[in-house]
Structure 1
Amino acid sequence: MVEGIRFLWSATQGYRLRPWRSPYLRWRLETYSGKKAETVEAKDFWRLMWGERGQVLRFSRWLGEMRGYAEGEKGR
């Protein structure tokens, strides 16, 4: 879960109080759902986050795993 929060923190830079306005997250939402990025609203963002919470949690675990690999590589 920490990795997911860390990802959101960096992905929403400049848009932290309104993450659905982040150009990066709009683009990701568009590629995931097919909804045009220009039309994304708060309800779309939160509906996707809630509806796909299992996927979001899996993504968060994957991020943690990848960070572990990256940090392991740094220590060598």
Structure 2
Amino acid sequence: MFEPIRFLWNATRGSRLRPWRSEYLRWRIETYSGKWAEKLTMREVFGFMWASRWELLRFLAWTGDVQRDARRKP
């Protein structure tokens, strides 16, 4: 349940009040969309997040599953 929030908290480390300046999130957007990370503005980051919201939610759910599986004891 809290895994997506944990991922976002870790991904925006150093720029939590300004997530569009997060190096990690900008790099992820660049690798996913092909837009240059150095040229991304706040409007473009939020526009990308809104346009890709369902894919991002699926990704966040997947990260939660991976983290849960990693913590599971054999």
Q: CA deviation at 1:68?
A: 1.6
Q: List gaps (5 residues or longer) in structure 2.
A: none
> In the alignment, what sits opposite 2:29?
29
Q: Report the Cα distance in structure 2 between the residues aligned to 1:40 and 1:7, rounded to whole angstroms.
A: 21
User: Alignment identity in percent?
Assistant: 53
Secondary structure at the residue paired with 2:14? coil
Are 1:66 and 2:66 matched, yes or no? yes
How do 1:37-76 and structure 2 match up within 5 A? 37-72=37-72, 75-76=73-74
Structure 1 residue ranges without an equivalent (≥5): none
Query: What is the CA distance between 1:69 and its match in structure 2?
Result: 0.9
Task: Report how many aligned residue pairs link the two structures.
Answer: 74
Structure-2-length-normalised TM-score: 0.90
- TM-score (structure 1 length as normaliser): 0.87
| Number of the residue aligned with 1:12 | 12
Q: In the TM superposition, what whole-angstrom CA distance separates every residue of 1:41-67 from its partner, at most 9, and x where no partner exists? A: 111111111111110111111111111
